[in-house]
């Protein structure tokens, strides 16, 4: 793999700096929530991780569509890279939510529409990665991945809307939610700033990780090609 381009190195350092500032804002700048206490601070990164998951799966669907139109495997590489990042951040979202829920809802898990739809979404994309492993032919694998990525994306708006259309105890951050939701709170200006900054930071983190992961995918393809060449010689 050739050395990282200057822009990628710059982006990596910028993301690291943003992450450090976001961490400071979340832990020290934002005030402690009056009812839930310190655990509410998990909220900033919990939502930001969920946002990255949704964004990553959207990118997978879009790049999958581009692959189907152009048959250029570079787009499939981007789609796979994005799924991998989406799976990691959705898992962070689910686990951090569970930790937040324990003292607030008095349980690690409940069969709430949001928790269930988010977990189904995660499993759909874990299956995407597993099923790809089972397909040898790279073109068939890319075609399958693209169609799956587009269809799988249906789970993302369903997860987003679940707390807005079903009766739920999960609080709604954007817009109004079920009045019976537990753990809802009004954000002070400082909380809102920390929240928006976390979303921005995680967006940068996604872009940085995607770039690195795409380069890794390209390197993997190069190794595969060379392997075929050596074996056929």
Sites of contact with other proteins (CB under 8 A) = 1, 27, 32-42, 45-46, 49, 85, 88, 91-92, 95-96, 99-100, 102-104, 205, 209, 212-213, 216, 219-220, 222-223, 226-227, 229-230, 233
Round to the nearest angstrom and report the end-to-end CA distance of the chain. 23
CB of 102 to other proteins, least distance (A): 6
CB of 21 to other proteins, least distance (A): 15
CB of 151 to other proteins, least distance (A): 26
Q: Which is nearer to other proteins, 92 or 169 (CB)?
A: 92
Dihedral of CA atoms 190, 196, 197, 202 in degrees, nearest 10, equals 150
Written as one string, the DSSP assignment of 125-169 is HHHHHHHHHT--SHHHHHHHHHHHHHHHTTHHHHHHHHHHHS--S
Q: Are 183 and 171 in contact (CB under 8 A)?
A: yes
Q: Map residue 37 onto helix, strand or coil.
A: strand
CB of 44 to other proteins, least distance (A): 10
Q: Which is nearer to other proteins, 27 or 192 (CB)?
A: 27
Query: Computed from CA positions of residues 213, 210, 162, 195, in that sequence, does the dihedral angle turn out positive or negative?
Result: positive
Q: Which is nearer to other proteins, 37 or 138 (CB)?
A: 37
Q: Which is nearer to other proteins, 7 or 233 (CB)?
A: 233
Rg (Cα) of the chain, in Å, rounded? 20
Q: Which is nearer to other proteins, 73 or 143 (CB)?
A: 73
CB of 23 to other proteins, least distance (A): 8
Query: Computed from CA positions of residues 138, 141, 143, 145, in that sequence, does the dihedral angle turn out positive or negative?
Result: negative
């Amino acid at each position: 793999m050739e050395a990282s381009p200057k822009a990628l190195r710059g982006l990596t350092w910028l993301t690291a700096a943003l992450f450090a500032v976001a961490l400071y804002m979340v832990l020290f700048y934002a005030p402690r929530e009056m009812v839930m206490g310190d655990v509410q601070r998990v909220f900033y990164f919990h939502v930001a991780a969920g946002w990255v998951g949704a964004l990553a799966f959207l990118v997978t669907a879009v790049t999958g569509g581009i692959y189907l139109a152009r048959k250029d495997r570079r787009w499939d590489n981007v789609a796979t890279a994005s799924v991998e990042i989406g799976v990691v951040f959705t898992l962070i979202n689910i686990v951090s939510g569970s930790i937040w829920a324990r003292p607030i809802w008095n349980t690690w898990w409940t069969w709430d529409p949001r928790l269930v739809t988010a977990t189904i979404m995660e499993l759909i994309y874990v299956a995407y990665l597993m099923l790809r492993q089972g397909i040898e032919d790279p073109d068939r694998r890319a075609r399958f991945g693209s169609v799956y990525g587009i269809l799988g994306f249906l789970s993302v708006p369903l997860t987003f809307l679940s707390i807005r259309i079903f009766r739920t105890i999960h609080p709604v951050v954007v817009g109004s939610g079920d009045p019976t939701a537990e753990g809802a709170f009004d954000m002070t200006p400082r909380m809102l700033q920390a929240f928006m900054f976390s979303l921005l930071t995680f967006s940068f983190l996604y872009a940085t990780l995607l770039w690195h992961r795409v380069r890794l995918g390209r390197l993997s393809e190069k190794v595969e090609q060379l392997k075929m060449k050596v074996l056929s010689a």
